Amino acid sequence: MPHIPLPEGIPGIRSLALQYPESGKYLYELVQILLRHESPLSEAERELIAAYVSYLNECEFCCKSHAAASRYLFADASGTVDLALHDYRSAPISDKLKSLLSIAGKVQADARTVTEEDVALARSFGAVDRDIHDTVLIAATFCMFNRYVDGLATLTPEDSQVYAEMGERMATKGYVVPEQK
């Protein structure tokens, strides 16, 4: 049960954006820029970073919805996204993405622990400044989103099909503030 009145039956941050459109508009614009605008990282990789940070933060809604978007974008029939969430070091993803997930994990836990060595390792696998920037900003932003969603106890669906549909919508339509009904 949410800690404040929110539209019934609307999960996660969508309910907050509907109830508080003055802030929701800007949060949706930010996530659209981070996960859909031009970046050397693919949309699927950026969704995976968002899902991974949400996984570390134990934010079930954000983890499941962004993992679903990443699965859709990767056309992931082999479970790579789930493998990466649980143990990215042994997942069948690039070394570059592994090094960026390591940085994202450090940002989630304590951003001050990201070292020059972490950045150098990412660069050795082909990461450029924008990859590193986008990874850190996605990780930091999703820590905020996770705390926003969980701190207000928004609705978290149990049905995996709800997340699959959400992931497809996010992947194909991007991040658009839901309309009032």
User: pLDDT for 26-49, tens place per residue?
Assistant: 999 999 999 999 999 999 999 999
pTM score: 0.97
pLDDT digits (tens, 9 = 90+) for 121-157: 999 999 999 999 999 999 999 999 999 999 999 999 9
Tell me which of 1.20.1290.10, 1.20.58.100, 3.40.50.300, 1.50.10.20 is the CATH number of domain 41-173: 1.20.1290.10
* Segment holding 14, helix H or strand E: helix 12-19
